[in-house]
Structure 1
């Protein structure tokens, strides 16, 4: 079964995809992402391929049931796997900047290609690193989900930044970056800044913001993309050095939506969020009732103290 079902209380779409539980079990120590094992027959540098068990797909079946108590829709969309490297042991913190710069170009290519499909409204690129966030494979890779609607948190970001723009005439992130306290900044470059925002939801949350206002990753210049590659590696490396382990995280890219007949250039500011699931080396930050049920986060750590820890991890 694969379909969308709308929550009648919140209006959110829920993706039902029972086929994802049918993933194959490979022999122990066999990585399906290494060249010649399962997914990719030949050696590669970077690669993109369709997820074999997608939650969303272009050929999703039509909805035939007419007597459902909830609204249903086709699970239309796209799910892709994005390979960072063919080297099994090479992770983001230790990758050459050149490799990550090439990865950014791959991300841009996927944005451009999929945005041509007028039925797709949001293209969401992310990486899950570590078993703690559900990653079942250690080989460095990310994923892409292309949605036919705006996911709830994206819609909330769009609505609020639009509202503030019409009230104040400015981008809310641009205003924040002009006044961000130094104690929240992890690293500042020519084009980007990494910081633990004062409003961080997770204890070791870290964001990367372009200093120049851009709404899409594809708006960045070549020099900006290179520095962004440096910043992505820098944040991941600080986690590993601070905790002396391969620290788990969720990395999420937030570009503006597509194909909605609205222009976002003035108010939506492209950004990247790192949300690690731990609050210390040995303790998890569980998403319990308050966070999950009310979407109201309680951060048990001081963002300013965490920023200091991350600064000192490499500096």
Structure 2
């Protein structure tokens, strides 16, 4: 039986995901892509596809581990899936998808959120996207992933704690307040009718950018059809902007932050964060001593100056991408 379990860190309150099967993942196979049409799992005639991860961290059939003594273990109950974003293998990033194709991807995000939201084993759904060899992406066909988790991750809990505290004190959503501040324009990069893209005042990574919906919502399931279209638009613009910044493909991690599935969270706000790895064209921003040791980041540069660079990069792609909004 393959070992798959959760181990609790009593010092931080985190669950550590342990899986022996993960070490067997293939690294960039040259002669075969499992995500291309015509494969054993993919078949033909699809536009976007949800596939089970072959090397999952979580499973609804995960065994119950023995937990004796001081340390605590738990079942790795959940789901790990791959979101294949297009049948086309050679596309490099989301801005190369048509707006219609990108809309189908966002609709799939919404659909899977709806399906998993009522599952009693799932506390939180993380939809994310890794891009670039520097991140450790093992397959280059355009794809994202989802982890349906039986616990709420520490970073999400911290955001909830602080937003709940602010809401109780000021009767206003903390994310909505941040949105109001960023709409003033210093770090605002792009906006359409329903979303804004900005480099936050408190960025960790040199060219970190966030996407906020203008409407106060908690889950992807609450998006209207118009908002789905405009989310697709701003995702294409965001990746296009990052890739035009240094005129090379930007490695990054993208994460969709929704509210947890259990309970009500009127103080929380759906948002998306991008963590790009480059600080200059040929220089990576490493999470080194102070970042790894304390989880507190040093910022290499001035956020407002880097925001100006991103604004210029956004304007450079205006003729390349059919934008539904405007670069600021």
Q: Which TM-score applies when normalising by structure 1?
A: 0.95
The residue aligned with 2:4 is: 2
Q: Tell me the CA shift for residue 37 of structure 1.
A: 3.7
The residue aligned with 1:277 is: 277
Query: Are 2:93 and 1:79 aligned?
Result: no
Q: Which runs of 4+ in 1 moved over 4 A?
A: 24-27
SS of 2:186's equivalent in the other structure is helix
Superposition pairs of residues 103-118 of structure 1, within 5 angstroms: 103-118=105-120
Query: C-alpha distance in 1, partners of 2:219/2:125?
Result: 11
Superposition pairs of residues 88-103 of structure 1, within 5 angstroms: 88-90=89-91, 91-103=93-105
Unaligned residue ranges in structure 2 (runs of 5+): 316-328
The residue aligned with 1:191 is: 194
Q: Tell me the CA shift for residue 115 of structure 1.
A: 1.0
Change beyond 3 A, Cα 1:263–1:177: same
The residue aligned with 2:321 is: none
On the 8 A contact 2:250/2:277 being kept in 1, the answer is no
Cα displacement string for residues 172-212 of structure 1 (whole angstroms, at most 9, x for unaligned residues): 11112223231200012211110001111100101111111
Q: Tell me the CA shift for residue 22 of structure 1.
A: 1.7
Superposition pairs of residues 281-292 of structure 1, within 5 angstroms: 281-292=281-292
The residue aligned with 1:208 is: 211
Candidates 179, 182, 187, aligned match of 2:181: 179
Change beyond 3 A, Cα 1:29–1:307: farther
On the 8 A contact 2:77/2:150 being kept in 1, the answer is yes
Unaligned residue ranges in structure 1 (runs of 5+): none
The residue aligned with 2:132 is: 130
Q: Tell me the CA shift for residue 36 of structure 1.
A: 2.3
SS of 2:176's equivalent in the other structure is helix
Query: C-alpha distance in 2, partners of 1:245/1:159?
Result: 38
Q: Which TM-score applies when normalising by structure 2?
A: 0.91
SS of 2:259's equivalent in the other structure is coil
Q: Tell me the CA shift for residue 247 of structure 1.
A: 1.3
**Aligned-CA RMSD value:** 1.5
Q: Tell me the CA shift for residue 8 of structure 1.
A: 2.1
Query: Are 2:263 and 1:247 aligned?
Result: no
On the 8 A contact 1:17/1:55 being kept in 2, the answer is yes
Candidates 154, 160, 163, aligned match of 1:161: 163
Q: Which moved more, 1:26-35 or 1:210-219?
A: 26-35
Query: C-alpha distance in 2, partners of 1:276/1:178?
Result: 24
Query: C-alpha distance in 1, partners of 2:157/2:233?
Result: 29
SS of 1:127's equivalent in the other structure is strand
Query: C-alpha distance in 2, partners of 1:242/1:305?
Result: 13
Query: C-alpha distance in 2, partners of 1:159/1:152?
Result: 10
Superposition pairs of residues 4-153 of structure 1, within 5 angstroms: 4-24=6-26, 28-64=30-66, 66-90=67-91, 91-153=93-155
Q: Tell me the CA shift for residue 38 of structure 1.
A: 4.9
